[in-house]
Structure 1
Amino acid sequence: MLATGIFVTGCAQFPDGRPRDWHAQPSLEPQAGPQPHIEGQDSPPPPPRSQAPGEPPPPPQGCKDPDPAVVATCLEPVGALVALPQGTGALVGERTTGRILRVQEGQQPVEIARIPVDPAGGGGLTGLALSPSYAEDQLIYAYLSTSTDNRVVRVAPEDPPEPILTGIPRGPRGNSGAITADDRGALLVATGNAGSSEEAADATSLAGKVLRINAFGEPAAGNPDPGSPIVSSGLTDPGGLCVAGGGAAHWVTDRGSDPQTLHRVQLGEPLGTPAWTWRNRPGASDCVATPGLVVVTLTDASALYTMHPAPQGGFTGEPQKVMVDTYGRFSAAALGSKGLLWLGTANRDGGEAVSSDDRVIRIKPPAGSAAGKD
């Protein structure tokens, strides 16, 4: 379970489920930075010698980062992230290089694959997922852009990447996508509209859609239309796709829409009215979800957004913007063992990078409101 503190943020109800914006208050008192808990330890590690309790660690020196939450440093902008089972680390996809690396506390990153990508128009390597039977087959799936299309590839140990779904339209923009495993042994894929709203509206096009496929790229068993991989439509430039435990809910963010949106996906139906909107366009990108929590990474706002879905629809309590300007532009997220949150940054991709950027961070999810609200 995630830390209890992040679940209890208020009791206001939004029973009608309509999208609401949260507006900043005139002033907010500064808060101390997050106190990370590292997996396998009962309490937070002691601060470095020059660091007083409650203060942030000193700045990095080159690729050495004294922050105990930082797992990997000096990466290219992180486009995708997935946690490995049983606390054995995570896999990181670099958006612009196509490298997939295994990262783990106390060890140097290990490159396990390098896939040629074309990062133009927001594309590149933007999605990673483990096979639903990863413990047996060690297979990884990636969503990426080439010079001619967007596609899903399968990566097996010591084998070259194998395309399983190709021909997803690409264009001058709207090329990002996301991929995750659902609770029924299939893969969910979110695709951009390749810069064309007509493509997203075209029922025969794979652009601007949520797809559900099997391990071979074919329509998965149980799809509303058995002959089609398309289970929803209406996306512009998706940043993240996440499934709550047990399949309680499917969520997708769309940072290309205006305003930016979070949708609850109903398989077999168009996306329709968003569950949440951000009119200030904070760069809503990746997401993680449990039945009672959704966390969205905000790239342009350099923060996380936490919200609590209500069983009857809408959201309970006050959504919180937390960890503002702590690590910069959060671009990717994954939920690991023991409820720990893995995060990736994209500070070299339009942000203010420090010497150890870009980084992968592992923390206990932040509790309460560290830095105010939208």
Structure 2
Amino acid sequence: MRRAAAAALLLLALGGCATFPEQGPREWHEQLEGAGELGGPPVVPENTAPPEPPQQSGPERQSGPQQTPSGCQDPDPQVIATCLNPVGAIAVLPDAASALVGERQTGRVLRVRQGSEPQLVTTVPVDGTGGGGLTGLVLSPSYIEDQLVYAYITTPQDNRVVRLAAGEPPKPVLAGIPRGPVNNGGALAVDEDGSLLVATGNAGQTPPPPDSLAGKLLRIDLQGHPAKGNPDPLSPTMSSGLQSPGGICVDPQRGAAWVTDRRVGEDALHLIKPGVLPAPAWRWPDRPGVGGCTAQDGAVAVAQVRPESLFVIRSDAKNLFVGAPETLLQETYGRLSAATLAPDGLVWLGTVNKAGGRPVSSDDRVIRIQPLAAGGDNRQ
């Protein structure tokens, strides 16, 4: 991989990006940890992901030609934050230079920025068993004004969407999503109409009842009510049939929305359509453990736990995939899970190397890479 060229292009891209100052009545400040509290197919192992190799000791994995990390100091210019717990979700802030990062099993939400120590914003009580925890994080469509953040979490009783505001405990927006022994993780996104898209796991039900919120693609307003334009105006359900979703991504240029799913026998990428979960637009029979995704101008990038890479496919104007896929960052940063697109078009990724991978001293990390649609060379 031409790492030097990638780093140079990244620096050029960042140097030319506009920033958007945050405004509004609330500001996110560092808080003490623990602050805040909460008002078909057979069942397969947790997350329906491929069997994970045991954590290995020994020499640290090299991150390309640059120096090996030393403690929490990582010389890689694409690394934004280090020494985190496995990352469950990322939401990039409007300035495009900092982000809120959710740790899946601890429920901590940290503000990260390159060159600064991560700042604890809040800790949301979560239950990380059965693939659950804090697995979704997205900014309010009017974040600059209201400073609100939405999270998908697992509690001992259920899975739910909660709203986070500075200085306040998390407030349930949509509660009662079934939880079970497996497939409790979910994902969040905001569509082009400003509604929340919510992907829910099936909680081990095969399949869940039609009126259940498990295993669904939901579309709700910011108060948790069914969004206008849903197939059934009285229901939050857009479509059914998800098993263990890893991420939702909306293409800002085209408006198309995609959801990844770890299924029995295969991993899949679906184009989101009202009323029905269509056949997968892309299938992975080898089940690499698909996670979060990003979409921009027809390029869809999917984070993979195995083979520790970012999988990129490109589509035409009809959202049909064309050309050969690309595998980027292979065995460069380890197991990738969270993925999101920043306002400046850069891609942010989170690792989960402490969860069964081969962590280096600076893991787990948040990484920022150059735009995929611009044809940058991030390949290994």
TM-score (structure 1 length as normaliser): 0.84
Residues 277-328 of structure 1: CA deviation (Å, up to 9, x unaligned): 0011111110011231101000121000111112234212111111100000
Alpha-carbon separation, structure 2, partners of 1:286 and 1:213: 20
Alpha-carbon separation, structure 2, partners of 1:162 and 1:243: 25
State whether residues 71 and 362 of structure 1, in contact with CA within 8 Å, keep that contact through their aligned partners in structure 2: yes
State whether residues 173 and 194 of structure 1, in contact with CA within 8 Å, keep that contact through their aligned partners in structure 2: yes
Instruction: Give 2:88's aligned residue.
Output: 79
Alpha-carbon separation, structure 2, partners of 1:55 and 1:282: 22
Alpha-carbon separation, structure 2, partners of 1:307 and 1:198: 30
Alpha-carbon separation, structure 2, partners of 1:216 and 1:55: 45
* From 214, 238, 253, the counterpart of 1:231: 238
CA-based RMSD of the aligned residues comes to: 1.8
The one-letter amino acid of 2:350's match is G
Secondary structure of residue in 2 paired with 1:121: helix
Q: Bigger CA drift: 362-371 or 247-256?
A: 362-371
Secondary structure of residue in 2 paired with 1:220: coil
Instruction: Give 1:312's aligned residue.
Output: 318
State whether residues 103 and 109 of structure 1, in contact with CA within 8 Å, keep that contact through their aligned partners in structure 2: yes
Residues 32-57 of structure 1: CA deviation (Å, up to 9, x unaligned): 447231463369xxxxxxxxxx9621
Secondary structure of residue in 2 paired with 1:317: strand
Query: Which runs of structure 1 show a deviation greater than 4 angstroms over 4 or more consecutive aligned residues?
Result: none
The one-letter amino acid of 1:356's match is S
Instruction: Give 1:143's aligned residue.
Output: 152
Alpha-carbon separation, structure 2, partners of 1:234 and 1:247: 25
Secondary structure of residue in 1 paired with 2:283: strand
State whether residues 192 and 255 of structure 2, in contact with CA within 8 Å, keep that contact through their aligned partners in structure 1: no
The one-letter amino acid of 1:350's match is G
State whether residues 64 and 332 of structure 2, in contact with CA within 8 Å, keep that contact through their aligned partners in structure 1: no
Please, which runs of 5 or more residues in structure 1 have no aligned partner?
1-30, 44-53
State whether residues 271 and 278 of structure 2, in contact with CA within 8 Å, keep that contact through their aligned partners in structure 1: no
State whether residues 82 and 333 of structure 1, in contact with CA within 8 Å, keep that contact through their aligned partners in structure 2: no
Instruction: Give 1:118's aligned residue.
Output: 127
Q: Bigger CA drift: 211-220 or 31-40?
A: 31-40
Residues 49-85 of structure 1: CA deviation (Å, up to 9, x unaligned): xxxxx96211111111111111110000000011111
Task: Give 1:88 shift.
Answer: 3.7
Instruction: Give 2:169's aligned residue.
Output: 160
Overall identity of the aligned pairs, in %:
52
Secondary structure of residue in 2 paired with 1:165: strand
Instruction: Give 1:40's aligned residue.
Output: 14
Alpha-carbon separation, structure 2, partners of 1:248 and 1:41: 27
Alpha-carbon separation, structure 2, partners of 1:191 and 1:358: 25
Aligned residues: 328
Alpha-carbon separation, structure 2, partners of 1:349 and 1:158: 31
Task: Give 1:198 shift.
Answer: 2.1
Q: Spell out the pairing of 1:257-268 with structure 2 (5 A cutoff).
A: 257-268=264-275
The one-letter amino acid of 1:170's match is R
Secondary structure of residue in 1 paired with 2:263: coil
* From 342, 350, 354, the counterpart of 2:360: 354
Alpha-carbon separation, structure 1, partners of 2:148 and 2:254: 21
The one-letter amino acid of 2:15's match is Q
Task: Give 1:213 shift.
Answer: 0.7
Secondary structure of residue in 2 paired with 1:356: coil
TM-score (structure 2 length as normaliser): 0.83
